[in-house]
Amino acid sequence: MSAPRTRPTEAELAEFRDRVRAHIAEHAPPFEAREGHRAPETGEQEVLLRTWFASLFDAGFVGADWPVEYGGRADHHPLHDRIVSEEILRARAPRPVDQVNLAAHVLLHFGTDEQKSALLPPIRSSEHVWCQLLSEPDAGSDIAAVRCKGTPRPDGSWVIDGQKTWITDGHWADMGLALIRTDPTSSRHHGLSAFIVPLNAPGVEIRPIRTINEAIEVNEVFFDDVTIPPDSLIGEPGQGWSIIMAGLDFERFGIGGNVILLELLIDDLVTVARHGRIDDMPALQHADIRHQVAELAVEVEVAKAFIDDHVERLVAGAEQTGDGSIAKLSFAETYHRVSAYGAQLSTMVCTLATDPDVALAKQRLKECWLWSRAYTVSGGSSEMMRNILAKRRLLLPTH
C-alpha cells in the first residue's frame, strides 16, 4: 500500500467529508442497505451495486490506499478511509464487498506483477466481485484444518477437488480466493497454498444457503476436477497460511471498523424505547429499560473508543499485535447484544401503526439480530479471536 502523507488538517478532512457525502447523495443506489440482505436479490440490483462500487473506486474513495500505479491516490491518508466508511454507513448506503478488499490486499502484497495487472483493474471497475473460499464443513473458524486438495500437473496447472461452505457472496461473485491443501502429507497450517479460482470454471458448482432471515448471503461451493492454470497460484506452494492470515488480519479490522453500525443500532433502539409504550407509558420511562439502553450505549462508546485509538496508532505506525482481533471481537459481540435486546424490546412495546419511523426501526433491529451471529463467526469466530489474543497479545501458554 502507498505510504501515507502528512496528516490532513481538520479543514482538509472536513472538505473531504463533504465531497464523500456529495458523492453518496448523487451515486448511491435508490435502496437502503439491510443487514443480512447485502447481496443483490435481482439482476437490476446487481447492476446498481456494481455501478455504485465502481463509482467509489473512480472517485478515489475506495482503493485509495493502493499504489498509485494501480489506481491509488498519492494524497491518501488512513483517516480518509475512516471518513468514507463512516459516511457510507450513516447514509445507510450499500457497503463495498469485504471479500473484494481482502482479495485486493492479498494481490497487492503477494501477487506477481502479471497477476496485479490482470486482476486489479476488474476489481476497480467492479467487473469482478470476489469471495473468499476458506471455510469447509470440518474446518470453519479452524481453517488450518482444510482438506480441499490441489494436485499439480506436469504442465504446471492445478486440479482442485473438495468442498467449501458458508461462502459469503459466492452466488454472485466472479472470482474466489481459495486456501487449498497442496501437500497431501502435511497437517494443520503446513502444506497449504493460496489460489485464484474463477467461479465460472468447469467443475465449480455453487449451491446457495438460505439464512434464517430468508436471504441468500452464503453458499456451498464444490470443486470437481477443477483445472486452473499455473498463474492461479499466489506466492509459493505452501505459503498459503501466511498469505491468508495477513489478509484476515486486514479484514478483521475492517469488520471492527464498522463501529458506526453500532451507533445506528443504538439510534433505532432509542427510537423504539422512546416511542413504544408499555403499561400506557413510554418504554424509556421504565427504569429497567432505561438502564439497559444506557448500558448498551456505554458498550458502544467503548468499542468506538478502541477503534479511534487504533486508528491513531495506525496513523502513527504504532499499531499493536492483535488490534485487528480486538476490533473484530468488540464490534461483533456488542452488535449482537444491542440487536438482541432491541429485537426483544420490539416485541414488548405497543406502537402506533401510523408511525413509519418506529416500524422501520423495529424491522432493522430484528434483521440485525437475525444476522448478528454471522458477525461473531465470519472472519474468524469470537472464540478464535480470543485464542489469537491469548497467544499473540497476552503471550499465554498454549498447552
* Residues labelled as active-site residues: 251
Alpha-carbon gap, residue 168 to 131, rounded angstroms: 6
Are β-strands 130-133 and 149-152 bridged in parallel, bridged antiparallel, or unpaired? unpaired
- Residue indicated by cell numbers 463501529: 259
Residue 181 CA from chain centroid, whole number: 25
* Cell (9 digits) for 255: 469488520
* Cell (9 digits) for 372: 448478528
* Cell (9 digits) for 24: 453518496
Residue 135, helix vs strand vs coil: coil
Residue spans of beta strands (DSSP E) within 73-215: 130-133, 149-152, 158-164, 175-181, 192-198, 204-210
Alpha-carbon gap, residue 89 to 260, rounded angstroms: 7
- Residue indicated by cell numbers 473508543: 305
* Cell (9 digits) for 111: 501477487
CA dihedral 241, 244, 245, 251 (to 10 degrees): -170
- CA–CA–CA angle 194, 195, 197 (5° rounding): 150
Whether residue 124 contacts residue 54, with contact meaning beta carbons closer than 8 Å, is answered with yes
Residue spans of beta strands (DSSP E) within the chain: 130-133, 149-152, 158-164, 175-181, 192-198, 204-210, 216-228, 233-234, 277-278, 281-282
